[in-house]
Chain A
Amino acid sequence: MIYLDNAATSWPKPEAVYQAMDNFMRHTGANPGRSAHQLSIEAGRIIYETRESLSMLFGIGDPMRIVFTSNATEALNVVIRGLLHPGDHVITSSMEHNSVMRPLRHMEKLGVEVTVVKCSSEGFLNPHDVEQAVGPHTRLVILNHASNVVGTLLPVAEVGQITRRRGVLLMIDAAQTMGCYPVDVEEMHIDLLAFSGHKGLYGPQGTGGLYIRKGIESSIEPLKYGGTGSRSEHEYQPDFLPDKYESGTPNTVGLAGLGAGVRFVLEQGVNEIQKREQVLTRSIIDGLKAIPGVTIYGDSDPRKRVAVVSFNISGLIPSEVAMQLEEYHQIMCRPGLHCSPIAHKTLGTFPQGTIRLSPGYFTSDDDIEGTLEAVRRIIATKARF
């Protein structure tokens, strides 16, 4: 079996992730921060360690700037729904995932003005176009760091200079980059960043989070209110991080796994992971390019993208190709629109979509060769009909 769906969620996970989760369930188990007994304190320590490891990965000094959520989608919703008010203007790109577009379209109905800046047919964004769209009421620019459809990287650092200069907040959807592409929130002038815990950070599903630059939390209402284990005698929500946005019992077993995943990334080094994934991406792109009848989308330079490759075979619909890849070759990938209709409109692949291959750090060279061979066979079989 070959797993090439790491853009949806990474699998397998490093061994330490399974161990950390098993260990928590068997030997700690308690509710963190609620009681003061040793097991509860130990559960709290596990979460704190995960927060601290993430702060190292983000290049920030204060771990409390990281808020845990159940996925990147929730982190995006916290900001989009908690920061924007009727009359505000928000700018985004035409390469976004529905986890950005749907909450934005919802806010549009409530009176928020939304501008979608058009990207090129390879998925590139011109920072100048973002600057042109900034107006007197612009509150936020929200951008995908790398596309989950074609892997194209957006010019976050360049846009960060514009937003900082114009007094506009910058939020980044780093679901596809955290762990496999260097991110320095200070240097790139990122004010808010949403991440998935279950993709490039190797945690389990149901983990994710939000980085909030110091001071911005005073303008963002929480999505959820409730118990935090702190200020128990008060009936009002605490206003400090991370408690303001972390009501309710957390996913401690998940965060135990996420901590182990982040430490794995720190040990390997983001640059090493990136290098390996670029090699795999290059093999897929070069291999597919050499097959007649295959169209590849996005830029073909692996340095301008993350390890996500979308393609089509002429005369076959993506779901048919994916079905054959699975049925005859045991290759797991994802066909269709990948929750990003607007990105496919930009690429010219709407509504049929594409076949997406997303290798990960654990993908072998043989996996890639096997997949390329399978694509060749599918095309050869088609030709016989």
Chain B
Amino acid sequence: METAEYSVVLFYSTSNALQAEKLFKKTGVAIKLIPVPRQLSSDCGICLRFDRPDEPSVKAILEKKQIEIQGIHPI
């Protein structure tokens, strides 16, 4: 089942990553907290992985809740 295409949200701080995780669990968007992939560089050791097609809704939710992010990258 490892055929899906993923992207990740990078955060400045662990607290923000955990805040976002909780938020997405509530909204029903499928996400998982994972270690930051080696090819990316982030201020915080964990990031949120999601299905790439969900990117518009992921962005909208983060913006609505004003959670600061470092960036979104395909992996």
User: A interface vs B, CB < 8 Å?
Assistant: 32-37, 41, 44-45, 47-48, 51-52, 62-64, 228-234, 238, 240, 242-243
Contact = CB atoms under 8 A, between A and B. Distances in A.
Given A45-B18, A48-B22, A33 B12 contact: no
A36 B15 contact: no
A230 B68 CA distance: 14
Given A36-B34, A36-B35, A41-B33, A232 B43 contact: yes
| Secondary structure of the B contact surface, majority rule | mixed
A44 B13 contact: no
A214 to B, nearest CB: 11
Contacts of A240: 12-13, 68
A45 B43 CA distance: 18
The interface size bin for chain B is: 20 to 34
B69 interface: no
B11 to A, nearest CB: 8
A228 B14 CA distance: 9
A331 B68 CA distance: 52
Contact of A231 (B19, B33, B43, B66): B43
Given A36-B34, A41-B33, A243 B46 contact: no
A256 B26 CA distance: 22
Interface of B: 12-16, 18-19, 21-22, 33-36, 41, 43-46, 66, 68
Contacts of B36: 36
B6 to A, nearest CB: 16
A230 B13 contact: yes
Q: Which of B14, B45, B46 neighbours the largest number of chain A CB atoms within 10 Å of its CB?
A: B14
A44 B44 contact: no
Contact of A243 (B15, B21, B45, B66): B15
23 contacts: A35-B45, A36-B35, A36-B46, A41-B18, A41-B33, A45-B21, A45-B22, A47-B15, A47-B18, A48-B15, A48-B22, A63-B19, A64-B15, A230-B12, A230-B43, A231-B12, A231-B44, A232-B45, A233-B41, A233-B43, A238-B12, A240-B13, A242-B13
B14 A33 contact: yes
Nearest to A35: B45
Q: Which of B19, B43, B66 neighbours the largest number of chain A CB atoms within 10 Å of its CB?
A: B43
Contacts of B19: 48, 52, 63-64
Contacts of A47: 15, 18
B16 A32 contact: no
Contacts of A52: 19, 22
B46 to A, nearest CB: 5
A228 B68 CA distance: 17
Contact of A36 (B21, B43, B45): B45
A228 to B, nearest CB: 8
A316 B27 CA distance: 64
Contact of B15 (A35, A41, A231, A242): A242
A229 B18 contact: no
A33 B45 contact: yes
A211 to B, nearest CB: 15
Given A36-B46, A41-B33, A232-B45, A243 B18 contact: no
Contacts of B16: 64
B14 A230 contact: yes
Contacts of A45: 18, 21-22
Contacts of B14: 32-33, 44, 229-230
Contacts of A242: 13, 15
A241 to B, nearest CB: 8
